[in-house]
């Protein structure tokens, strides 16, 4: 079992490395590379200062390349451009190797925009996003369990039909539309304003700070929870309904146990197992959701950092965001496996 877990984690690490490398390489070979963007900027600046000789321009361009770490060749072997392209072997002195060895050491580079270390930027932003995503995850899971138990108790009543239909509708609504609808309906001074203007200044104590955070985070939390709720609830309901037609469920009912107790104590543990697989995708989906939600509600979290970096071609931050997401997926794989072991003793590793 442990070996199986290791193999799974190994695969996830390889996939994370693959996707981060893909994004890194694509970002460096695009038609307008970051280097050229910076060079255009430089040209504008130098034009304002005054006419410069071509030597000076070339020297300043070389300096920009050096500063952004773009002077070295891109990959271990590159091909010269032109019809008679030839391959050159550069050894370990190349951008990709430099980037990879820095990433392994935990250094994600510096932002192109303001030269700040990406780890510091991400750290500040994650302080906003981690509570948001974690809160949404726990809230959504709790709500999904409660809703699934409610829906599985029977079918056909008006309330259940309504809940099921709205869950099915929510399933196709993209998060950005959902968040926008909530923003326009519930944070609009003309309709209902649940999101008062953020009160600035230092909070007198921890309780007030937490209260302010809760007020600001209510709508983002709600949109994240609503976005992932159908994917969590509907499979669980189907699984519960399937379990309730098994002989052991009939036995439990025949013993005279009330339906709620049968559902909670007898059927739920067996129906839960498929939910854990969904949970693997839950955290990455939520962290990806913060990209949209933080842009809509103007929260200074990691999602907005990523979206703004992508809009401003700030590649080191974008690549770091990709690595972060891949890391979150790795964590949730581990969490799902641990949950499997806890829920089903048959799967526990023999010790």
Partner 1 sequence: MNLVRRPRSLAVAHWLAIGWLGLVLATGLLAPWLPLPYPAATPDLLHIAAPPTPPHYFGTDALGRDVLAGLVAGARRLVVLSLPAVGLATVVGMAAGSAAGFWGNSRLRIPVALVAWLLAAGYWLAALPARTGITGCLLLIGAASSFFAWWRTRTTGPGTGPTLAVPLDSLILGTTAVLGAIPRLILLVALAAGPPLSPTQLLGLLTLVAWPETARLVRAHMLRVRVQPFIEAAQASGLPEWRVWLRHALPHACQPLYAFVPLSLAGLVGLENALAFLGIGQAPDSVSWGSLLTTIRQDPTAWWVATMPGLALLCTLLALQQVAEILKRPLILK
Binding site for partner 1 (CB under 8 A): 11-12, 15-16, 18-19, 22-23, 26-27, 30-32, 77, 79, 85-87, 89, 168-169, 171-177, 180-181, 184, 188, 190, 284-285, 287-288, 291-292, 295-296, 306-307, 309-311, 313, 315, 318-319, 321-322, 325-326, 329
| C-beta closer to partner 1: residue 215 or 307 | 307
| C-beta closer to partner 1: residue 173 or 338 | 173
Burial of 124 (0-12, 13-18, 19+ CB in 10 A): middle
Q: How far is the CB of 202 from partner 1 (least distance, A)?
A: 29
Q: How far is the CB of 18 from partner 1 (least distance, A)?
A: 4
- The residue count of the chain comes to 351
| C-beta closer to partner 1: residue 108 or 287 | 287
Q: Which residue(s) pair with 152 in the sheet? A: none
| C-beta closer to partner 1: residue 52 or 163 | 163
H helix intervals, the chain: 2-29, 34-49, 54-68, 95-104, 118-152, 158-172, 175-186, 206-243, 247-254, 259-261, 268-271, 273-296, 302-311, 315-343
| C-beta closer to partner 1: residue 159 or 174 | 174
Residues 6+ away with beta carbon under 8 Å from 167: 147, 229, 230, 233, 234
Evaluate the CA torsion angle 36, 37, 41, 44 in order and state its sign.
positive
Residues 6+ away with beta carbon under 8 Å from 340: 273, 276, 347
| C-beta closer to partner 1: residue 240 or 309 | 309
Residues 6+ away with beta carbon under 8 Å from 56: 46
CA distance 313 to 37: 9
DSSP secondary structure code for residue 198 in this structure: P
Q: How far is the CB of 311 from partner 1 (least distance, A)?
A: 5
CA distance 266 to 190: 49
CA distance 77 to 289: 38
| C-beta closer to partner 1: residue 58 or 168 | 168
| C-beta closer to partner 1: residue 315 or 340 | 315
DSSP secondary structure code for residue 51 in this structure: -
| C-beta closer to partner 1: residue 275 or 333 | 333
Q: How far is the CB of 85 from partner 1 (least distance, A)?
A: 6
CA distance 75 to 79: 10
H or E stretch covering 89: strand 87-89
Q: How far is the CB of 165 from partner 1 (least distance, A)?
A: 11
Q: How far is the CB of 345 from partner 1 (least distance, A)?
A: 29
Q: How far is the CB of 250 from partner 1 (least distance, A)?
A: 27
Q: How far is the CB of 222 from partner 1 (least distance, A)?
A: 18
């Amino acid at each position: 079992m442990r070996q199986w877990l290791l193999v799974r984690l190994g695969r996830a690490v390889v996939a994370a490395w693959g996707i981060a490398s893909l994004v890194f390489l694509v970002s460096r070979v695009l038609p307008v590379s970051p280097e050229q963007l910076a060079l255009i900027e430089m040209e504008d600046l130098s034009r304002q200062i005054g006419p410069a000789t071509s030597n000076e321009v070339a020297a300043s361009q070389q300096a920009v390349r050096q500063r952004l770490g773009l002077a070295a060749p891109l990959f271990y072997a590159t091909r010269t451009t032109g019809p008679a392209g030839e391959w050159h072997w550069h050894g370990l002195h190349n951008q990709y190797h430099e980037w990879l060895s820095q990433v392994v050491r935990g250094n994600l580079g510096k932002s192109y925009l303001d030269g700040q270390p990406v780890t510091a930027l991400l750290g500040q932003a994650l302080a906003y996003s981690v509570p948001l995503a974690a809160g949404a995850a726990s809230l959504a899971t709790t709500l999904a369990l409660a809703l699934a138990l409610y829906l599985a108790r029977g079918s056909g009543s008006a309330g259940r039909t309504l809940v099921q239909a709205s869950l099915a509708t929510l399933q196709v609504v993209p998060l950005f539309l959902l968040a926008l609808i909530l923003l326009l309906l519930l944070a609009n001074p003309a309709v209902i304003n649940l999101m008062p203007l953020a009160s600035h200044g230092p909070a007198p104590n921890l309780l007030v700070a937490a209260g302010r955070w809760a007020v600001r985070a209510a709508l983002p939390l709600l949109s994240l929870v609503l976005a992932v709720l159908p994917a969590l609830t509907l499979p669980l309901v189907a699984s519960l309904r399937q379990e309730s037609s098994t002989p052991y469920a009939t036995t439990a009912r025949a013993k005279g146990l009330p339906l709620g107790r049968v559902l909670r104590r007898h059927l739920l543990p067996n129906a839960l197992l498929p939910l854990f697989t969904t949970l693997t995708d839950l955290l990455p989906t939520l962290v990806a959701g913060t990209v949209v939600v933080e842009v809509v509600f103007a929260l200074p979290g990691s999602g907005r950092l990523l979206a703004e970096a992508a809009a401003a071609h700030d590649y080191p931050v974008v690549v770091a965001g990709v690595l972060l997401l891949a890391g979150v997926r790795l964590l949730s794989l581990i969490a799902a496996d641990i949950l499997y072991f806890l829920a089903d003793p048959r799967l526990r590793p023999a010790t």
